[in-house]
Amino acid sequence: MNNRERVAFHTLGCKVNQEETASLMEMFRKRGFQLVDFKSPADVYIINTCTVTHTADQKSRQMIRRAISRQPDALVAVVGCYSQVSPDDVLAIPGVDLVVGTRGRAKLVDLVEDILEKKRAGEFGKEVNAVDSLESDLEFEQLPLPDNPQRTRAFLKIEDGCDQYCAYCIIPDARGPVRSLSPDLVKEQLGELICAGYREVVLTGVHTSAYGKDLSVGINLAALLRDLVKMPGDFRIRLSSVEPVDVSEELLEVMASSSRICRHLHLPLQSGDDEILEMMQRPYTTADYSELFLKAIKMIPDLAVTTDVMVGFPGETDRHFENTYDFIASLPFRDLHVFKYSPRPGTSAAEMSGQVKPRNKDERSRRLRELADTKARAFAEGALGETLDVLVERSYKKRPGYWQGITDNYLRVIFPSQEKELRGELLPVRMIRLAEEDLIEGETSRGDGSCGRS
């Protein structure tokens, strides 16, 4: 077979999906496929789907049909969470050739090549359902590290699956139970990323903070971090989202003890009302959350705490929402990610009474987003005058001669420099003034001497 077939990818959903797509792309590249844009003609289209909400299902079906209509004779393969939960719905779409879930993706290239061969020979008949049962293999499925020299930071997936059945979430059914990459393999992959020149590595997973629960006693996220920061090289580590119930004092102590661990915690809140938290089946109260928050910022000075908040959960009244608003207003968050509840068939919340009207969701979302802007600006103002290491990500197109990057505590910074290439470097930058919204303008000693001019 001529292995210069063109393959195009489209990803829906979370950062874990995005990084898994990058790994799949690497698998196809190594086998000789030509990677092309999803909007371009291709011989193979692969859609990595999401099923976190009913809307996500609709978007997944929309992108599948778009690929089929774009190139009717192409091979269309559908992978990911929606495929895992609803393979029959995917297979019912005329034009789908292959369905793979959230397991067995390491065999995707083999399956695609086999179907391409049969199509050429006129021997391909019925579409292939290669979705494996979540109980068929309880090992962590290791995919190759993506090779993307255009990226300034790397994502290292250390965990998959979730055992926390929140009332609104279908992900445990899509991903299965917690599975962790062994500490030795985490260190091996981190070493490869450091050698490849990445200065920041984000440890990620579906339930990252549950790392190690399926492994030997004594293996947890804190213990892993304690080993990783001892590795040679010039790098820093950032944690992706961690659940409040998993953030132990040991984890905070490890973060506080090493400058290699970014001062940033993403702690999903979801609601600031205890009645709603209980209905959501979230395993903490607002008092628990507040205690953790205040302990964390005391132990780790200038820690950035970001969070997820859901509005419009079934049964959420104006009183519940005001409690949420006041609770968030009382704590110095760096930023909020605000989501409107969307029913997901198969979850207990979808069957609950008291579904909230769309206009109420919109208004509550608007108010929280305005509060988020206020919080972000206040956090940025608190950093003025400090000198912080900035990972340079790209040139800042709005201002020629400026570069843009991010600090370890999640501040977005721009600074002037006439150097032709700074992307991927870690530079000390003094925070000077707010440029716009929560974007900070700074100055660095690197450059042509023009930094920091008024």
Do 211 and 360 share a structural domain? yes
> Does residue 140 contact residue 179 with C-beta atoms inside 8 Å?
yes
Do 12 and 95 share a structural domain? yes
> Domain residues for 399?
387-443
Helix (H) or strand (E) holding 34: strand 34-36
Average pLDDT over residues 293-313: 98
Do 348 and 401 share a structural domain? no
- Whole-number CA gyration radius for the chain: 23
> Does residue 413 contact residue 440 with C-beta atoms inside 8 Å?
yes
Distance of alpha carbon 176 from alpha carbon 170, whole angstroms: 10
Last residue of a domain, one of 328, 363, 381: 381
- Per cent of the chain over pLDDT 90 is 84
Do 351 and 212 share a structural domain? yes
Last residue of a domain, one of 351, 381, 411: 381
* Domain presence at residue 452: no
At residue 37, φ and ψ (nearest 5 deg) are -65, 150
* pLDDT tens profile 104-130: 999 999 999 999 999 988 888 888 999
Do 391 and 375 share a structural domain? no
* pLDDT tens profile 13-23: 988 999 999 99
* pLDDT tens profile 167-194: 999 999 999 999 999 999 999 999 999 9
- Of 368, 131, 136, 401, whose CA–CA distance to 271 is shortest? 368
Do 123 and 174 share a structural domain? no
DSSP character for 377?
H
Q: Which residue has the higher pLDDT, 150 or 395?
A: 395
* Domain presence at residue 397: yes
**Residue 449: predicted pLDDT:** 36
**Residue 3: predicted pLDDT:** 55
* pLDDT tens profile 41-98: 999 999 999 998 888 999 999 999 999 999 889 999 999 999 999 999 999 999 999 9
* Domain presence at residue 144: no
Q: 288: pLDDT confidence band, cut at 50, 70 and 90? A: very high
Burial level of 4, CB count in 10 A (0-12/13-18/19+)? exposed
- CB count, 10 Å around CB of 165? 13
pLDDT at 256 over 80: yes
- Per cent of the chain over pLDDT 70 is 96
Do 176 and 307 share a structural domain? yes
- CB count, 10 Å around CB of 339? 18
* Domain presence at residue 241: yes
pLDDT at 451 over 80: no
Q: 149: pLDDT confidence band, cut at 50, 70 and 90? A: low
Distance of alpha carbon 220 from alpha carbon 183, whole angstroms: 9
- Of 389, 424, 395, whose CA–CA distance to 410 is shortest? 389
Q: Extract the tokens encoding 195.
A: 């050698």
**Residue 452: predicted pLDDT:** 32
Sign of CA dihedral 246, 83, 358, 18: positive
Last residue of a domain, one of 94, 129, 164: 129
Distance of alpha carbon 367 from alpha carbon 359, whole angstroms: 13
Q: Extract the tokens encoding 438.
A: 């929560």
At residue 5, φ and ψ (nearest 5 deg) are -65, 150
Cα of 174 vs its chain's centroid, Å = 16
CATH for 269: 3.80.30.20
Q: Which residue has the higher pLDDT, 330 or 148?
A: 330
* Domain presence at residue 138: no
Cα of 328 vs its chain's centroid, Å = 23
Please give the C-alpha separations between residue 165 and each of 213, 281, 451, in angstroms, as whole numbers. 16, 7, 51
Q: 450: pLDDT confidence band, cut at 50, 70 and 90? A: very low
> Does residue 143 contact residue 127 with C-beta atoms inside 8 Å?
no
Question: ∠ at Cα 298 (294, 299), nearest 5°?
Answer: 120
Do 430 and 393 share a structural domain? yes
To the nearest whole number, what is the mean pLDDT of the chain?
Answer: 93
Average pLDDT over residues 349-376: 96
pLDDT at 453 over 60: no
* Domain presence at residue 57: yes
DSSP character for 356?
P
Q: 436: pLDDT confidence band, cut at 50, 70 and 90? A: confident
**Residue 279: predicted pLDDT:** 98
Give the DSSP per-residue string, 223-286. Answer: HHHHHHTTSSSS-EEEE----GGG--HHHHHHHHH-TTB-SEEE---B-S-HHHHHHHT-S--H
Distance of alpha carbon 132 from alpha carbon 104, whole angstroms: 7
Domain count, the chain: 3
* pLDDT tens profile 73-87: 999 999 999 999 999
* Domain presence at residue 449: no
Sheet holding 236-239, edge to edge: 179-180, 153-160, 200-205, 236-239
**Residue 437: predicted pLDDT:** 80
CATH for 38: 3.40.50.12160
Helix, strand, coil percentages for the chain (3-state, nearest 5): 35, 20, 45
Do 338 and 201 share a structural domain? yes
Do 392 and 354 share a structural domain? no
- Of 204, 301, 287, whose CA–CA distance to 244 is shortest? 287
Single-letter amino acid, residue 77: A
Do 95 and 54 share a structural domain? yes
Cα of 115 vs its chain's centroid, Å = 32
Model pTM score: 0.91
Distance of alpha carbon 264 from alpha carbon 254, whole angstroms: 13
- Of 203, 354, 218, whose CA–CA distance to 275 is shortest? 354
Single-letter amino acid, residue 208: T
Do 429 and 312 share a structural domain? no
* pLDDT tens profile 380-434: 999 999 999 999 999 999 999 999 999 999 999 999 998 989 999 999 999 999 9
CATH for 426: 2.40.50.140
* Domain presence at residue 167: yes
